[in-house]
């Protein structure tokens, strides 16, 4: 374990300058995913709570009043605004997830160009320089792919949460369009 931890500085040094933007993109992926996940979980919980309240109201468990056009518009406005915020965050997560392997690929190309330049300058005597160039190329590729993987899996989880949220808000919307609201409660 200590050997692996001791190798980290060497990886950073050997991976080249492109590891810095890859690390920044990786942090961005994690931050964006955590924000999206928390927001969607909170919105899903609120929508499910509203759905259960409206369901109880429709079945006589809670005092309910008919949904007014203003309440329906307010609900639609809030859902639309939440969807727009979600889409902006989702776009950012997708962009960062796509950028990570591309930065790794850029490092690959840079490392290979350095390798070919070493061969051109030193001929067969540049074996060490060739190996260093290939190592840099492979390390940046590895880091770029490793940075993107949490984004890929995060996008799958966010997609599942988003679908659940959309289903719950749709159910609330249907109940409202059928004419049920609970006085004094905001929706969405």
| 70-92 tens-digit pLDDT | 777 787 888 888 889 999 999 99
Say what the pLDDT of residue 188 is.
45
- In a domain? residue 154: yes
- In a domain? residue 32: no
Closest Cα partner for 53 from 152, 158, 184, 143?
184
Which tokens sit at 43?
């919105």
- In a domain? residue 137: yes
- In a domain? residue 147: yes
- In a domain? residue 38: no
Say what the pLDDT of residue 185 is.
53
Number of domains in the chain: 1
* SS3 call for 146: helix
- In a domain? residue 51: no
Query: In a 10 Å sphere around its CB, with 0-12 CB exposed, 13-18 middle and 19+ buried, how is residue 4 labelled?
Result: exposed
Record the pTM: 0.79
**65 pLDDT exceeds 70?**
no
- In a domain? residue 186: yes
Average pLDDT in the 26-43 region? 95
- In a domain? residue 54: no
Tell me how far apart the alpha carbons of residues 85 and 105 are, in angstroms, rounded to a whole number: 31
**156 pLDDT exceeds 90?**
yes
Say what the pLDDT of residue 152 is.
96
Q: Which domain holds residue 100?
A: 65-188
Say what the pLDDT of residue 135 is.
83
Say what the pLDDT of residue 158 is.
96
């Amino acid at each position: 374990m200590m050997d692996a931890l001791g190798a980290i500085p060497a990886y950073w040094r050997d991976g080249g300058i492109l590891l810095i933007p890859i690390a920044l993109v990786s942090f961005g992926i994690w931050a964006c995913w955590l924000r999206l996940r928390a927001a969607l979980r909170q919105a899903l919980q609120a929508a499910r709570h509203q759905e259960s309240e409206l369901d109880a109201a429709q079945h006589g468990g809670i005092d309910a009043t008919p949904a007014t056009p203003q309440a329906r518009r307010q609900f639609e406005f809030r859902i639309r605004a939440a969807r727009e915020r979600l889409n902006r965050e989702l776009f950012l997560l997708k962009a960062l997830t796509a950028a990570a392997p591309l930065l790794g690929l850029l490092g690959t190309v840079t490392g290979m160009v350095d390798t070919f330049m070493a061969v051109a300058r030193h001929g067969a005597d540049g074996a060490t320089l060739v190996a260093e160039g290939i190592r840099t190329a492979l390390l940046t590729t590895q880091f770029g792919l490793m940075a993107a993987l949490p984004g890929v899996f995060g996008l799958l989880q966010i997609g599942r949460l988003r679908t659940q949220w959309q289903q719950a808000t749709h159910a609330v919307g249907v109940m409202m369009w059928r004419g049920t609201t609970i006085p004094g409660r905001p929706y969405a």
